[in-house]
Amino acid sequence: MQIEIMDRPVFGAEHEPPDCLKRRILVHPLLLIFIKALLLCSYVSADDSIVTFYSENMKKLCTFRVELAATPEEHERGLMYRKSLASDDGMLFVFETDRVQFFWMKNTYIPLDMVFINSKYEVTGIYKSAKPFDETTVTSWSPAMYVLEINSGKANQCNIKVGSKVKLKNILR
């Protein structure tokens, strides 16, 4: 038997591959399946960014899986142009230091609550029910390092108040 590559005959292809190559071929798919399973498990659980709120006596109130907005470009875009936000999802804006924050709802379709959080992981203010497409400036009034945008009504539903404690998981500063 001969195999032709680029119109040149290759001789010796009639021989069987050695046993060690046969074993590698059989092991390779199993190893590949194992690696894919391992990667899938780490993808699902390892890097989710989470914000959890607690009452002043440390009773857990609510947890949100968040998308991070850490760069000036991400801050500017925020949740603009999105038509929906899952019930327990949000966007966390991360800033360098505590300062008074200014937001608006330009090109934002979703009514939102904005929760202002300081570097001590305490809620310093809440702006409830920001209206879609409203370009009026929303101000934190108190310095905040983080601003969490969640669906309108969730702050009330979760009983989040000024003074509530916050735990951040997988959030880089």
Is residue 142 domain-shared with residue 73, that is, in the same domain? yes
**pTM over the 0.75 mark:** no
Is residue 32 domain-shared with residue 61, that is, in the same domain? no
Is residue 36 domain-shared with residue 72, that is, in the same domain? no
User: Per the structure block, which two tokens stand in for 18?
Assistant: 């050695």
Domain count, the chain: 2
**Could you report the per-residue pLDDT of 40-93, keeping only the tens digit for each?**
443 334 469 999 999 989 999 999 999 999 999 999 999 999 999 999 999 999
Is residue 28 domain-shared with residue 110, that is, in the same domain? no
**Could you report the per-residue pLDDT of 104-163, keeping only the tens digit for each?**
999 999 999 999 999 999 999 999 999 999 999 999 999 999 999 999 999 999 999 999
Is residue 102 domain-shared with residue 54, that is, in the same domain? yes
Is residue 67 domain-shared with residue 29, that is, in the same domain? no
Is residue 61 domain-shared with residue 145, that is, in the same domain? yes
Its domain, for residue 116, covers 49-169
Is residue 8 domain-shared with residue 77, that is, in the same domain? no
Q: What string of DSSP letters covers 99-167? A: E--EE--TT--S-EEEEEE-TTSBEEEEEEEEPTT--SPEE-SS-EEEEEEEETTHHHHTT--TT-EEE
Is residue 89 domain-shared with residue 151, that is, in the same domain? yes
Is residue 14 domain-shared with residue 85, that is, in the same domain? no
